[in-house]
Amino acid sequence: MSRERPPLISLGDLPPPPPPSYAAAHDDEEEKDSPPKRWYHYLPLVVVIILLLAPHPSLLIVLVRYHLLLLQAPGWFAVHFAFTYTLSFLVFSSLIVILARDPGPVPSSHAPDGAADDDLDITQALLSGHDDDMTSPGKWCRKCWAPKPPRTHHCSSCGRCILKMDHHCAWLGNVCLGHRTYTSFLHFLTCTVALSAYIAVINIRAVYYAFTNPLSIDESTPIHCISLSFASIVITMVIGPFLLYHCYLISTNQTTLESLSPFLLLRQIPPLPEHPADGRKLSYPPLEHELSYNQRRLVREAHGQIRQYDIGLRGNWSQVIGWDRPWGWVHRILIGGSGKGDGLSFPRNPRADEMLSRLATELVDVDKDR
């Protein structure tokens, strides 16, 4: 009789999968997915489109009656007309990109040496493996059951992981903004603020002229000017600070999630040198609810100083609006586009590891004197 050959790969030594409580405690992103998108999810987008289109009838009335007929200034009429409608075109071009483009699909697998996924058999798939630990929070998505690259987050509203997810936007079609759409989102904000500010300026001048020359202008044109001025000022004051906030995020190389979630740092710190002196045993990485008040305050303070992906102002902006191809700036001006790179890896701040190690040590030492 032929002897049985031992199996090529033994799976007996693999660690058991973590219990559901562990997964839930270590990854607060793994929430129950919401129902599919319904028609009412697109109502905020309809409101946005109406707000973008509503001023144009009044704007045309002001341009024709005031600049062309009253002031007899066809040159300024042409300039204002061309500038406002160019900006309007750019606003809608970036909006279409946000709605039509995938924000950042995560590859289903990483084939070795560029091999196609369909060419891998079970042995190659097991032997090729990943360096990341499947049970490590932040490195493996327990909802998609797939690797989660750095800066990738699982969106419970979309039911999937998004590369370099910034936030989920209910106002723009209930979609996520990620690696492939964030530049278009910045383009949309910039053009919207520029358009509203420009309309406000030209109409405020028309309002001033109407009050100083009441007999030379008709009765309805000042009403259009006042309405456009008020609406444009409100939009500029609302969207402007939001644009400045995202300029700050780009300058420090953060996403909205990274900026608003200080305890994401816990997933990046190295193993703690020892357990706290009071005998409390912290998980690795530590969980937010396990930390004392002093440790929580320490993490929040460190969050304002540790910029893991900050590589300088020029390098940070280059990741978002930079280009590699010739004439790439034309693409950026027209639709915004996507960020540089593949969205799977990002250059890190050379001081980040040192600062994270210091944070791990201070988390242990902060309660020793209590």
Query: What average pLDDT does this structure show over 299-325?
Result: 91
Q: CA 242, CA 93: separation in Å to the nearest integer?
A: 20
List active site positions. Answer: 169
Cis-peptide, bond into residue 214, ω within 30° of zero? no
Q: CA 191, CA 197: separation in Å to the nearest integer?
A: 10
Question: Tokens 């910045």, residue?
Answer: 186
Phi, psi angle pair for 201, to nearest 5° = -65, -50
pTM: 0.82
Q: Does 140 have pLDDT greater than 50?
A: yes
Instruction: State the chain's mean pLDDT as an integer.
Output: 82
User: What distance separates the 2 farthest-apart alpha carbons in the chain?
Assistant: 114
Cα 156 to Cα 159, 194, 201, distances in angstroms: 5, 33, 42
Handedness of CA 215, 220, 221, 224 (dihedral sign): positive
Q: CA 218, CA 221: separation in Å to the nearest integer?
A: 6
Q: CA 286, CA 296: separation in Å to the nearest integer?
A: 11
Three-state DSSP at 238 gives: helix
For a pLDDT cut of 70, what percent of the chain falls above it? 79
Nearest to 185 by CA among 260, 249, 261, 91: 91
Nearest to 311 by CA among 244, 266, 251: 251
Q: Does 149 have pLDDT greater than 70?
A: yes
Q: What is the pLDDT of residue 132?
A: 45
Any idea how long the chain is?
Answer: 370
Query: What average pLDDT does this structure show over 262-280?
Result: 73
Contact residues for 209 (Cβ-Cβ < 8 A; gap 6+): 66, 217
Nearest to 54 by CA among 229, 235, 228: 228
Q: CA 117, CA 88: separation in Å to the nearest integer?
A: 43
Q: CA 95, CA 188: separation in Å to the nearest integer?
A: 6
- Per residue in 21-64, pLDDT (tens digit) is 444 445 555 444 555 778 888 999 999 999 999 999 999 999 99
Q: What is the pLDDT of residue 130?
A: 43
Q: What is the pLDDT of residue 50?
A: 95
Cα 310 to Cα 13, 208, 263, 265, 335, distances in angstroms: 40, 47, 18, 14, 26
Q: 341: which 2 tokens?
A: 């790179």
